[in-house]
Amino acid sequence: MKHARHRSDAPREDLRREADLQDLAPKRYVSDLGPTPTRRASLGQFRTRSGFAFPDLVVDYLTLGRLNPEKSNAIVVFHALSGNARVAGTDPATGRPGWWDYHVGPGKSVDTDRFFVICANVLGGCDGTTGPSSTDPATGTPYGSRFPEIGIRDMVAAHRALLAEIGIARLHAVIGGSMGGMQAMALAFDHPGLVGKCAVAASAFAHSPMQIAFNEIARRAILADPAFAGGDYYPGPGPSAGLAVARMVGHVTYLSPESMEAKFGRRLHGSGRFEVENYLDHQGASFVRRFDANAFLALTRAIDRFDLFEDLPADRLLPGNPTEFLVLSFASDWLYPPAQSAGIARAFRSHGLRVSETTLPTAYGHDSFLIKNPPLTEILRGFLG
Question: Looking at 82, 333, 341, 367, which residue is catalytic?
Answer: 333
Neighbours of 101 (CB within 10 A): 23
Distances from the Cα of 60 to the Cα of 50, 79, 310, 365, angstroms: 23, 13, 29, 30
Residue 13 has pLDDT above 90, yes or no: no
Instruction: Write the DSSP assignment of 195-217 as a string of letters.
Output: EEEEEEES--SB--HHHHHHHHH
Give Cα 54 to chain centroid, integer Å.
24
**Distance, CA of 360 to CA of 338 (rounded, Å):** 9
Residue 178 bears catalytic tag:
yes
Q: Pairing relation of β-strands 58-64 and 39-42?
A: antiparallel
Q: Pairing relation of β-strands 46-47 and 53-54?
A: antiparallel
Residue 95 φ then ψ, to 5°? 80, 5
pLDDT at site 2: 33
pLDDT at site 22: 44
Question: Looking at 127, 366, 367, 368, which residue is catalytic?
Answer: 366
Mean local confidence (pLDDT), 94-99: 90
**Distance, CA of 183 to CA of 28 (rounded, Å):** 31
Residue 161 CB burial class (10 angstroms; 0-12, 13-18, ≥19): middle
**Distance, CA of 191 to CA of 275 (rounded, Å):** 47
Residue 56 bears catalytic tag:
no
What's the count of helices (H) and strands (E) in the chain, helices before strands?
10, 14
pLDDT band at 369 (very low <50, low <70, confident <90, very high): very high
pLDDT at site 28: 57
**Distance, CA of 143 to CA of 308 (rounded, Å):** 28
pLDDT band at 310 (very low <50, low <70, confident <90, very high): confident
**Distance, CA of 294 to CA of 223 (rounded, Å):** 10
Mean local confidence (pLDDT), 199-203: 98
pLDDT at site 34: 86
Which CATH topology does 9-207+309-384 take? Rossmann fold (3.40.50)
Question: Looking at 109, 133, 134, 178, which residue is catalytic?
Answer: 178
**Distance, CA of 364 to CA of 260 (rounded, Å):** 9
**Distance, CA of 119 to CA of 179 (rounded, Å):** 14
pLDDT band at 313 (very low <50, low <70, confident <90, very high): low
Query: Average per-residue pLDDT in the chain?
Result: 90
Q: Burial code of 221-248, b = ≥16 C-beta within 10 A, e = fewer?
A: bbbebeebeebbbbeeebbbbbbbbbbb
Residue 101 bears catalytic tag:
no
Of the listed ranges 210-219, 250-259, 346-355, the least confidently predicted one is 346-355
pLDDT at site 3: 32
**Distance, CA of 278 to CA of 267 (rounded, Å):** 11
Half-sphere exposure of 215 (CA within 13 A, CB side): 19
Sign of torsion, CA 9 330 101 301?
negative
